[in-house]
Structure 1
Amino acid sequence: MRTYPNSKETKEIIKQLVSIPSPSGNTKKVIQYVEGFLTALNIETRRNRKGGLIATLPGENNNEHRMLTAHVDTLGAMVKEIKSNGRLRLDLIGGFKYNAIEGEYCEIHTSGGKIYTGTILMHQTSVHVYKNAGKAKRNQENMELRIDAKVENADDIRALGIEVGDFVSFDPRVQMTDNGFIKSRHLDDKASVAILMQLMKRLKEEKKALPYTTHFLISNNEEIGYGGNSNITPETVEYLAVDMGAMGDGQSTDEYTTSICVKDASGPYHFGLREHLVQLAEANHIAYKKDIYPYYGSDASAAIRAGHDIIHGLIGPGIDSSHAYERTHETSLDNTEQLVYHYVHSEIVSY
């Protein structure tokens, strides 16, 4: 396999990103991390009112713009109910199932700034007590959060400062293997955020003007549907979302190539831009797969739904077990970064 020249640096950025809790609605710290990285490179940034971060690199053509986006918000949960047995009932943030977080370590982030650890478990976990431990449904009614504190009732929990509405984040359990695999929660979409951060660093170091002024949106509400649907300049012609490629039965996406999405639940992506990306990949010996993601939406599709008159596309590294304990390989990161690098240097698709 081809050696990825920035693999150590990119994987370290991923490790840092996934280790910063950032469920949708509570992303301030991770945005600050990305902002600090870009500020150190003297890249112009600004915040939008939703809390997302926009970086801009000027281009030779300022009449037509591009925008690339990746999202830093993740799946998570919120305290729904303080139970009389000294445990918490959860309400999920993002599109995933309770079975994906059974047995997961987590943190409760109180409004007062305190953090408590805990574990997400079935109420009927003990096989020595509950005959239906394996058959009970994994749902909101049966699953609960066990706090690592001496609490026996709701009053004990409230005495800790925990209340309804407090955010719950999941332990990423990030691991990097010697043969190039990256295993962690929240590679969707922090792997892509790391790719864009590395891309901006490379562009800044090369000191070569882009053909078009290019904006990079680090969005913070994608998992709930509206992270990248605003702050798109009137000059923006093309909008490329960099987000995970979905793997599973019937899919062509894998963990070693970049995935070019041709259609998701929102419908087909722009044919001209999709074919342009394919041509760039083939011309530059970048391994890719075209694919359809049946139950998926991106910041690019959110922008289209919001009424923006743009050419929209979607690419990303292939991610196994999306919205659970995810995995990809450094070659997929490499192929995706190379494709976005050649893309930002290419001509805008004719419309």
Structure 2
Amino acid sequence: MIPIDTDYLKETLLKLLAIPSPTGYTDQIVHTVGRELESMKIPFELTRRGAIRATLQGEKPLLDRAIVTHLDTIGAIVRELKPNGRLGIAMIGHWPARFAEGARVTIFTDNRSFRGTIQPLKASGHVYNEEVDTQPVTWDNLEVRIDEKVYTRADLETLGFNVGDIIAVDSAPEVTQSGFIKARHLDNKAGVACQLTAIKALRDTGATLPVTCHPLFTISEEEGTGASSILTGNIAAMVAIDNSTVAPGQNSREDTVIIAMRDQGAIYDYHLTHRLIQLCEEQSIPYVRDVFRHYRSDAASALSAGNDLRTALICFGLDASHGHERTHIDSLASLTNLICAYLQSTPRIQHDRNKLGPLEGFPMLALGKNEKE
């Protein structure tokens, strides 16, 4: 197992968390990650909209791999300039209004940014008494209070507010002495930090990769399209890196790797998934398996777009996903170790060289035995 730089991992995560990047407003974080790749001398290309496709050269052609994380986060968008000088909003991504209440935010207009707070319509118990606890928790019952002297719709218009302005929610990170990391947007900036740390570890140690790998950084996963348009025909397998869901009824933990067997959008490839499990066991990387019922990843969007490739999903453990999130450095370190192990492992299904091929050489599962990827 090659050494990883956990200080770099934490520093990179905190740097990423400081950059607003709700879906649709990702240019700044694309530049930041691009500069990080340039500093490591990793070649990469950008799509028209800004998704990043990097290349780690391997020894053999035609069995390229991809690892993918997403740079975009949840957020909100202005849907109404209200008569009281506040903003009606709708969500970007899918997250509960309950966790939007009280969020400190930045609103990006066409010409500048403003600070504000997401408030429930009935925010003061001194005015509304028990109604503050009984009003429905919905996006229709939220508004943004702007930190400017605005009291009417005309005031908003004078300052340049418009329907469609993007709203970014503060991440407010905290790293505890016990190793927990608390913040909004750990989904998926923690995954991005792990991916960059793995790339750095491979580069620093001069590790040889058996096949070429393409680290991908997508910009629209939270709205469902993710890795749908960034793949090429040479990629035979793709591993998505994202958060798990720690909750009752789930098997995920905050201090291990989680290997997803399926989610709402995909049943993950048996051979690739079990190869990752084998790597965890061989290298003593703590892991658990889980199934996610209300969850969709970059890998699922790639399959939905018609890409024919083996997919898997490996995760860091996350409590309260899309809310006040928390993970542990042990989970991030273990996930980074698994990424490094996977990229150094040799593919075992040579049949995957073919976009279309014969029956001969295609793997077959029987009585629990399989030829792993």
TM tier, smaller: over 0.9
Do the aligned partners of residues 144 and 217 (structure 1) sit closer, same or farther apart at CA in structure 2, a change above 3 Å counting? same
Quote the Cα distance in structure 2 between the aligned partners of 1:147 and 1:172: 18
- Deviation, structure 1 residue 84: 0.3
The share of aligned pairs that are identical, in percent, is: 36
Structure with bigger helix share is 2
- Map of 2:274 onto structure 1: 275
- Deviation, structure 1 residue 8: 2.1
Aligned residue type for 2:239: L
1:99 maps to 2:102: no
Contact 1:103/1:120 (CA < 8 Å) preserved in 2? yes
- Map of 2:323 onto structure 1: 324
Q: Residue 124 of structure 1: which of 122, 125, 130 is its match?
A: 122
Structure with bigger strand share is 1
Alignment coverage as a number of residue pairs: 347
1:134 maps to 2:151: no
Alignment partner of 1:274: what SS? Answer: helix
- Deviation, structure 1 residue 252: 1.1
- Map of 1:46 onto structure 2: 45
User: Which whole-Å deviations, capped at 9, do the CAs of 1:69-111 have from their partners, x for residues lacking one?
Assistant: 0001000011110000010000110111111110111010111
- Which has the greater radius of gyration? 2
- Deviation, structure 1 residue 49: 1.8
- Deviation, structure 1 residue 348: 2.0
User: Which whole-Å deviations, capped at 9, do the CAs of 1:47-81 have from their partners, x for residues lacking one?
Assistant: 01231111111110122100100001000011110
TM-score (norm. length: structure 1): 0.97
Contact 1:189/1:244 (CA < 8 Å) preserved in 2? yes
- Map of 2:113 onto structure 1: 115
Quote the Cα distance in structure 2 between the aligned partners of 1:243 and 1:322: 11
User: Which whole-Å deviations, capped at 9, do the CAs of 1:242-280 have from their partners, x for residues lacking one?
Assistant: 000111111111110000000111242111111111100
- Map of 1:83 onto structure 2: 82
1:164 maps to 2:181: no
- Deviation, structure 1 residue 157: 1.0
Contact 1:272/1:349 (CA < 8 Å) preserved in 2? no
Aligned residue type for 1:125: A
- Map of 2:310 onto structure 1: 311
Greater shift, 337-346 or 204-213, is seen at 204-213
> 1:185-264 alignment to 2 at 5 Å?
185-264=184-263
- Map of 2:19 onto structure 1: 20
Aligned residue type for 1:279: Q
Alignment partner of 2:128: what SS? Answer: coil
Alignment partner of 1:246: what SS? Answer: coil
- Map of 1:7 onto structure 2: 6
Contact 1:243/1:317 (CA < 8 Å) preserved in 2? yes
Question: CA RMSD of the aligned region, Å?
Answer: 1.1
Contact 1:276/1:349 (CA < 8 Å) preserved in 2? no
TM-score (norm. length: structure 2): 0.91
Aligned residue type for 1:104: A
